[in-house]
Structure 1
Amino acid sequence: MIGGVRDRLSQGVGSLLVVEGDSGFGKSTLMRRFAATESGGTCRIVLSRCMPTIGTGSRYAPVWDALTQLSKSPVEPPRRSRLARMLREGTAAAAPELLSVAVPGLGAAFTATRAAAAATVATGSIPGDSLLHADGLATRQLVDVVVQQARDGKPLLLMIDDIQLSDHGTLELLHLLLPRLRDEPLALVLGLGSYGRSASGGQAVHELLAEWERDYGTDSVLRHQVPALPAWAVRQLVTERLRGKAVPERFPDHVFDATAGHPVFVDQVLNLWHPGYGADVPLPEKLPAAIEDRFGRLDPHDRELLVVGATMGEFFCSHTVAEVTGMPQLQVQDRLHAIQRDHGLVTERRRSELPRWTRNLHIDWYDFEHRLLQRTIRRVQQREGARLLRHAGIADALGRLPRAAGSELPRELRVLIADQLRQAGPARAAECAVAHLDLARTAAVEELAFLQAEQHCRTAIDAVRLLPEGTEDHDRRLVEAVELLLSLTEVRWQGGHTDHARPEIDTLAAEAEQAARRLGDRLLIARTTLLRGKTLLAVDGLAPSLAKLEEAVQRARECGDEGITALYVAMVEYGRQLPKRDLKAGLAVLVDAERLYGSAPQLSETGNPVLQHARNLNEMQIGVNLFDAGRFDEARVRLERCVARLDGETPQVELPIALNYLAQLHVAMGAEDKAREALSRALQFEESRGGASGWHAYNSALLALITSRDRTRAREAVALAEEAWQETTCTWLVNLVPIVRNLYVEVLLETGHDPDLAARLARDSLVETERTGMDRSRIAAYCLRSRLRSHAGDIDDAAADARMALSVLEERGDMPALRTEEVLHDAARALHAAGAPHEAQTLWDRARTEIHRKADSMAAPDDRARFLNGVPLNRTLLTHDVPPGHGGAGTVPGQRESRPRA
């Protein structure tokens, strides 16, 4: 099978082969032998392997290993030669640093994102969507580096074993690399252990494989299950292994019957057999028994060495074993060499074969023959209490490994130590939490590996839960881990809950808030109160969130000068959410926050990512709320200034939001060409970063609505709106879900497409906004359903929905992005059709007054004329006493809530 992939690659056809097999079935041996014997032909063959513990924490580890092997080429472009030199020399650089060397222009982006990541680690005040774009950027650039390596010589066959142990970055890279195989001189062979579903990333790998098969077909994505050995192969193996010995004739058949052809089982049985046993030798019925029998032949001191080694993992070093057992290291090495010579079981790896992160470590390296051997020794040969003690001893010993003077512990070794502390149980839980928190910070700031940082945070939280509640270790570590975890994951928060369980995000935020109160740390109390306010918005809706956010502002004020930054961030977040309930009050809070920013010396640090992020959000929020209040000129000045400043900043994470707000203003002013231009720019910006985004979905939906006004592009508009809704369901940001859903409904209305779907979506918005308190989207949904029912001839129900929309509007007043004149116009139409012409006329008069009020906010005559005559609804209302037909451009085309994160 592997040879077939190579042959097709030689003919210019790239493909993917997944070789699956149980541990010991020979999958890894097969790949290793193929790479060793077939290199140098028509293709270059490179084999790397994901490693347990390290493989799941080291970003792109098998890819960097493959590039290290390829870096030995003497002919490289200047930048690539620098990368090759760093890889050959084993430079302990993070992925962004290496990529900055390989790819021009990346350095500035990574530097800015690292600063933002450092701020998140320090304050918890920057959300994950300010960071995750760098995650995708690094992956896409590394894909390009791999492809370029494939182009630079003979076709490249890249083989990666034990992919179930891979880090998330490598899986994402493979996902992006796969569609390029058809056009590039590159093919992939991945080794997958059949036990992979139980590995940390195993389930993700199986789900990804299913997606690949579905998207690319079984011609491009091949899977091969390594089978058990047939009877003839077992007979041949017995003959070769026991050549020259008196082997009874029936013995090979007995071996096959006992082992069912399992390669490792056959190997263990043949290791047990010696002359004189005969054909009736008692064979263990299970593989672990065979391993135990073989292990039992060792000297007790040798068994202890291997138990310690197996407790450490699939590989170990003599220094660590010596430290834990108390034996001199030379004696340990001698015994290990004798074990390898006389019994097998372990193999010492040559120094030249050690991974590059060991470059500054003065160690040797021993591998067990296979994973089942190591696992059986670890599980069977010690009691739980002894295992916990050994894990603790190994963690301490790893920290004392001899290394080059002045060198720090490599991150991979820190991962191993942290994992040993985790497995040491409650006695080392505090140190485990600290170790994994440090790794989370390193992963986020140095590697920009935010999903790995998230995993370390979760492990730290699990460790903290083993500590007594109320202790300093428990409470402070819990706050640190939760604050970082929720900041990193905020872009993926999911709201809603059942009576049985609250979502994890709010449970964690509540625990952190209580822990901060027990610590009595006023600044931590302010920050965790703000965090809780944000999780409540996602989980329970607007009302409880606003109460908690207002409390966060007060808590930050109580901190005095040391809490100025926390106060500013809290005011911005509170001011962005309050307009959903009270537009005027929310705008006042935002203006107060702006005054604080301009007057407090503590906020003058222009390079501070926390302040930069909050300032950008505050300014664009003021701009869009001025638009909501009908102050168009002031809004345009604010938003255009914000966009211009973002153009000169890095990494510009807020740009798609500012462009969205500016596009809504352009639509309201009748400048749809400018709106389309702003939205297209926002979409292009996010598509260059990759990945699903709630704001990309929102901008797509708004562009779909504008497109739907052109009857010749109705099909295009519906398709774009449908894609936007699908992207929204993937990201599910609580504020944006009803907005995009309502825009989808309006596109369906404008184009006359699938009214039943439109009715279901409008109903879903009403149900959801009843729970979340997003009244602006609730009003819009009532208006949309009223129009749907009018089209269907259901006049009375349409009028009822119109009255519900008016009722909420009268209670709340002007709402964000809800054009009051449009709600009044839609309600008037429904009530006029239902036999209430006088009430309808009153609503139309109010709508005209609203239009003139907004026109008065524009100083330029051209702007006023375009607003009054170029916006279809305005033109209709101002030229007819009773608007005939539909009379306008739809219900609330600029639907929007404030941005859901700070």
Structure 2
Amino acid sequence: MVPTNFVDRVEPMAQLSSLAGGLAGGHGRAFVVEGRSGMGKTALLAKFAQNLAAGEAQPSSCVVVSTRCHPEIGAGLTYAPALDLLVQLHEQTEQPGWLRRVLKAAGLGVVKSAPAMLSALVPGLGAVWTAGREAAETALKSGSAPLDSVMPIQLGAALQISEALLAGATPERPVVLLVDDVQFIDPSSLLVLDRVVRKLATKPVALVLSHTRPDTDTAVSATLDLWERDGLATRCPLDGLPEDAVQELVALKFDQHPATLPGEVFRLTGGHSLLVSLCLEEWQRDSDHTGPLPASVARVVEARLRALDEQDRRIVAVAAVQGPVFLSRLVAETVALPHEEVIERLSRIARHRLITLHQPPAWAEAERTDCYAFEHAALWRVVYEQQTPEQRRSRHERIAQALLAVDTEPADLPLGRRLEIAHHLDRGGAPCLEDSADAHYALARSAALDGLSFTEAESHCEVAIKAARALPRTTPGRDRRLVSAIELLLSLTEVRWQGQAMPARGLDVDALAAEAEQAALRCGDARLVARTTLLRGKSLLVTRGLGPSLVKLREAIEKAARAEDPVALFVAKVEYGRQVSKHRLADGLAQLYEVERMYASDPALGATGDPVLQHARNLAEMQLAVNLFDSGRLGEALGRLLRCVDRLRQEPLGAELPIALNYLAQVHTAVGRPDQAEQALLEALAFEDRRGGDSGWHAYNTALYARLLAADPDPTRRAEASAAIERAWLETERTWLANLVPIVRNLYADILLDLAVRPDEQAGARAEESYREQLRRADKLALDTHVETEQTGMVRSRIAALTLRGRAHLALGEPAAAARYAGEAVRILDEVGDMPALRTEEVLYHAALAQDGAGDPAAAKELLGRARAVVLDKAAHIEDPELRGRFLADVALNRRILADGGSE
């Protein structure tokens, strides 16, 4: 690091001091110092920490811990910055040797893995990770189920780690967390910081970050933008030093200097902090002070390299290819020189202010090597970029070979070394493609399994796919590599697929699934073909709609049967049964009954502890119950769901519990038990709140809860419904699960219609316009769903949207349009029969009101009679007399239908 004096940062320092001063009141905040590389961000954070330690800033009792994110050897170590902060916090209160004792008590011995160490430090985290790892491992082995049941565990783990970081802070002993160069942070640690930031308002903890904004947007930049938008963070831009600050810096460094020096330095550098310091160093090195000052960092580097002989310049160039931080032994092996000679040369080179000794990375601590770092990233970048593309490629290749030249199998090497190897293989060009594909695929699995760090896993998958594609078609194992990497990537991202666009970080989901399917066919592996066909069926559902998906899912069933793979066959049948229900409920019921018989009759399926099978079985059981509900068999549906929920409460993960509680709440509502429905929804919401993070099902459950509030006669609860459904829709937009989006959007429209109350004539024109605007907003939401379902084939949501449009237009005084939309809803319903998540009697009832409003009482009477018949048929299927009585008397819609449509 180039040493700099701290000058002219009065305003940022005042803001930081104010931030620290507020901690005594129990209120924290995030503060982000931003600027170009070399602007003095690190110096500002260091000075702030120094002031706190010296008692120059209040409160003087602050605990300050800091970490730095590095783009260096082994970059991308999962949770490393979060672990660094947590360890330092413990060191403030624990006795020496505490970490060794904790690890020994946890039975871990010497641990290199950050997730493993976090498991020892954070109570309860180890059990969560173990359960999640088992489920993730089986899902990745089978390829038959997505990681939607495991993804929330990553969010829950981040929440637990964040709570551990906040736990020890008190107003008397507040905490300041400093994170330098956050642009290099790993995604898992970023997730932890996000959880921290969202709790700072009520915690005596400050989070201070330095950030260099890259040329292109990144996840870090997007997160900081989000914090700023939500009012959670203050951003402080750090620009170049003004001319008077440069004068101050020159005066601090030199007792005597030409009067023109500060002005010349400012003119050349524009106040760029690093370049100012480099210029002054060059002026000091020039004994007679007659040489020109450098006008750029490149000029500084060139001047310092000229002082070296040719061999030293070659050593520096190879070191730069290794990275901003490098190891002497690797440099020696790459340039084919004795290690002792390279050590001596590096020691001499350090005198020229290009490099400095550095702490070696954890994985290299036991190796007999010196570790150096370039004095600043800007210096390193110049040395690296001055080399030709082939020089860089060949040197990356040789460094990778040197790192691999050990007796240990690659999979058993420390993670940091594996990351370093993969980095150089990726840049080693064509000779390294096979090794690069294998290394990055292995790292993807490690990230997903060892730390449940799916974002890191996705990044490695993308590199593995790129490398496999670049291999010649005739390369042995090429297609299997391609299938494995694509299958893993799509499993990792399935929970975020968003349909026609390219939702998962710009990936064309269906094109990838089709590519994997074709590669599997070329492999000639029947089980692989069955798995990729199922994956293609899932991708088609969200990219081209239900129809093409069902065709491919039927094909997956046939191929799984031919492959004699019972697990793949069972999972394919479950998926087909769940999806075909959206097209024709009777077909879904038949398929799910067959799945239930299959599970009960095959001991191999029933006895297995396979989490993938268990996940599929849970989904099938819930879907069958809710299909029975949608078919009017309410009593049987309620009994099945109560048993399912009780069983899921006992499972260690309980991943499907929020879904089962959602279905249970729907049935409770339908049979006139709103209190029990509310209890189920609140349990589901609390369960996911404990895990943390957004979830499509959390949004859906919030929407159902909002619907209960809107139906309550209590004005206070009805007023709460608007805020609740708004939260639900915003979360739906963030998660965007294709099958839930239209349902929540329709619920939003439904609640707007329920809450819209026509004002009295005395209320005036403004109140009338506000009322009509709410109706138009509901109609627009329903229209969006109607248009969307024309592409997706989600017939149930299309029928519901048409019914909602009919209600909106009838309330707007447009009965002809209302009758047209409601009539179309009935026509489609008659064509397809009962549908999931849709009450037939409700569609018929509102169509009757629309026809009556349009002046066709005969049609209205016929529709109302049909609605009454549906209600009575559902009642006949409820064996419990008390439950049947509630269904007929306590459900408002049923009362209206049975009272000949008279409103209450």
| TM-score (structure 1 length as normaliser) | 0.89
Match of 1:493 among 478, 497, 506: 497
Look up the match of 2:548.
544
Equivalent residues in 2 for 1:801-840 (5 A)?
801-840=821-860
Which residue does 2:751 correspond to in 1?
747
What does the per-residue CA deviation read over 1:839-895, in whole Å, with 9 as the maximum and x for residues that have no partner? 332222222222222222122211222222222232333343xx234x7xxxxxxxx
2:333 corresponds to: 323
Worse-superposed segment, 723-732 or 125-134: 125-134
Question: Is 1:399 aligned to residue 416 of structure 2?
Answer: no
Quote the offset at 1:182 in angstroms. 4.6
| Distance of aligned partners of 1:325 and 1:64 in 2 relative to their CA distance in 1, 3 Å threshold | same
Question: Cα distance, 1:299 vs. partner?
Answer: 1.0
Map 1:38-57 onto structure 2 (within 5 A).
39=53, 41=55, 42=60, 43-52=62-71, 57=76
CA drift of 1:65 comes to: 1.8
When the two chains are superposed, the root-mean-square deviation of aligned CA atoms in Å is 3.1
The DSSP-based 3-state class of the residue aligned with 2:164 is: helix
Alignment check: 8 A CA contact 1:656 1:682 kept: yes
Q: Which residue of 1 aligns with 2:761?
A: none
* Among 365, 373, 386, the residue aligned to 1:367: 373
Shift of 1:617: 0.5
Shift of 1:835: 3.1
Instruction: Return closer, same or farther for 1:257/1:103 CA change in 2, 3 Å cut-off.
Output: closer
Kindly indicate whether the alpha-carbon contact (under 8 Å) linking 1:231 and 1:256 is maintained by their aligned counterparts in 2: no
Contact 2:74 2:419 in 1 (8 A): no
1:19 lines up with 2:39 in the alignment: no
Distance 1:574 1:523 in 2: 18
**Structure 2 residue aligned with 1:344:** 353
Cα distance change on mapping 1:609 and 1:224 into 2, 3 Å: same
1:78–1:780 CA distance, 2 compared to 1 (3 A): farther
> Is 1:157–1:188's contact at 8 Å kept on the other side of the alignment?
yes
How far apart are the structure 1 equivalents of 2:91 and 2:779? Answer: 63
Which of 657, 676, 698 pairs up with 1:696? Answer: 698
Pairing 1:210–2:230 present: no
Q: CA deviation at 1:503?
A: 6.4
Q: Confirm or deny that 1:225 pairs with 2:238.
A: yes
Give the superposition deviation at 1:469.
Answer: 4.0
Closer, same or farther in 2 for the Cα pair 1:268/1:39, shift >3 Å? Answer: same
Matched letter for residue 659 of structure 1: L
In the TM superposition, 1:284-363 aligns within 5 A as 284-341=294-351, 343-349=352-358, 353-363=359-369
1:441 to 432, 439, 445: 445
Q: Which moved more, 1:134-143 or 1:299-308?
A: 134-143
In the alignment, which residue of structure 2 is the partner of 1:773?
793
CA contact (8 A) 1:682 1:696 kept: yes
The separation in 2 between residues aligned to 1:50 and 1:375, in whole angstroms, is: 17
- What is the alpha-carbon distance in structure 2 between the residues aligned to residue 113 and residue 514 of structure 1? 31
Residues 662, 82 of structure 1: alpha-carbon distance in 2 compared, 3 angstrom cutoff: farther
Separation in 2 of the partners of 1:210 and 1:347? 35
What CA distance in whole angstroms lies between the structure 1 residues aligned with 2:583 and 2:554? 13
Contact map agreement 1:55 1:167 (CA 8 A) in 2: no
Q: 2:389 aligns with which of 384, 387, 391?
A: 384
The structure-2 alpha-carbon separation of the partners of 1:158 and 1:719, relative to structure 1 and needing over 3 Å to count, comes to closer
Determine the C-alpha separation between the residues in 1 that align with 2:592 and 2:96.
52
Q: 1:469 to 1:183 in 2, by over 3 A?
A: same
Matches within 5 A, 1:398-797: 398-400=403-405, 408-469=412-473, 471-497=475-501, 504-560=508-564, 563-711=565-713, 712=715, 713-752=717-756, 754-797=774-817
**What is the one-letter code of the residue matched to 1:339?**
I
Q: TM-score, normalised by structure 2?
A: 0.89
Shift in CA distance, 34/846, structure 1 to aligned 2, threshold 3 Å: closer
Deviations 1:89-131 (A, max 9, x none): 9943545433433343333322211111112221223323211
Moved more, 809-818 or 369-378: 809-818
Structure 1 residue 239, shift from structure 2 partner: 8.4
1:722 CA displacement: 1.9
The answer to whether the 8 Å contact 1:9/1:15 transfers is no
> In the aligned structure 2, how far is the partner of 1:85 from the partner of 1:370?
39
Does the C-alpha gap of structure 1 residues 663 and 266 become closer, same or farther in structure 2, counting only changes over 3 Å? closer
Deviation at 1:810, TM superposition (A): 1.3
Amino acid at match of 1:568: F
Q: How many Å separate the matches in 1 of 2:530 and 2:411?
A: 39
What code does the residue aligned with 1:313 have? G
Say if 2:103 and 2:117, in contact at 8 Å, map to a contact too: no
Q: Is the 8 A contact 1:552 1:570 kept in 2?
A: yes
Q: Which moved more, 1:138-147 or 1:226-235?
A: 226-235
Q: State the one-letter code of the partner of 2:214.
A: R
**Which moved further from structure 2: 687-696 or 152-161?**
152-161
Instruction: Give the counterpart letter for 2:514 in structure 1.
Output: A
Number of positions where the alignment pairs a residue of Structure 1 with one of Structure 2: 864
The residue number in structure 1 matching 2:177 is 158
Structure 1 residues 152 and 612: alpha-carbon distance in aligned structure 2, compared to 1, 3 A threshold:
farther
- Aligned-partner Cα distance in 2 for 1:10–1:356: 36
* Cα shift at 1:751: 1.4
- Once residues 394 and 513 of structure 1 are traced to their aligned partners in structure 2, the CA distance between those partners, rounded to angstroms, is 36
Cα distance, 1:838 vs structure 2: 2.8
Work out which of the residue numbers 134, 141, 145 in structure 2 matches 1:126: 145
1:862 maps onto 2:848 in alignment:
no
Q: Aligned partners of 2:285 and 2:185: how far apart in 1?
A: 44
Q: Secondary structure at the match of 2:211?
A: strand
> Matches of 2:109 and 2:172 in 1, distance apart?
23
Q: Tell me the amino acid that sits aligned with residue 639 of structure 1.
A: L
Query: 3-state SS of the aligned residue for 1:126?
Result: coil
Distance 1:441 1:503 in 2: 19
SS class of match (1:158):
strand
The DSSP-based 3-state class of the residue aligned with 1:580 is coil
Contact 2:13 2:44 in 1 (8 A): no
Alpha carbons of structure 1 residues 86 and 508: separation in structure 2 relative to 1, 3 Å: farther
- Distance verdict in 2 for CA 1:151–1:715, change over 3 Å: closer
Cα 1:97–1:836, aligned 2, differ >3 Å: closer, same or farther? same
Q: 2:891 is matched by which residue type in structure 1?
A: V
What CA deviation, in whole Å up to 9, does each residue of 1:134-175 have, x standing for no partner? 112121111222123444984333221111111122223223
Gaps of 5+ in 2: 1-11, 757-770
Deviation, structure 1 residue 176: 2.6
1:372 offset after TM fit, Å? Answer: 1.1
Between 1:138-147 and 1:523-532, the stretch displaced more is 138-147
Equivalent residue of 2:230, what SS? helix
1:198 equivalent in structure 2: 215
After TM superposition, list the pairs within 5 Å mapping 1:202-281 onto structure 2. 203-216=218-231, 221=234, 223-228=236-241, 230=243, 233=246, 237=250, 240=253, 250=260, 253-269=263-279, 272=282, 281=291
2:844·2:864 contact (CA, 8 Å) conserved in 1? yes
Distance 1:183 1:776 in 2: 44
Q: Contact conserved, 2:80 with 2:114, CA < 8 A, in 1?
A: no
CA distance in 2, matches of 1:726, 1:66: 33
Aligned residue in 2 for 1:892: none
In 1, distance between residues paired with 2:836 and 2:399? 59
Instruction: Tell me by how many angstroms 1:718 deviates.
Output: 2.1
| Residue 339 to residue 32, structure 1, CA distance change in 2 (3 Å) | farther
2:862 to 838, 842, 845: 842
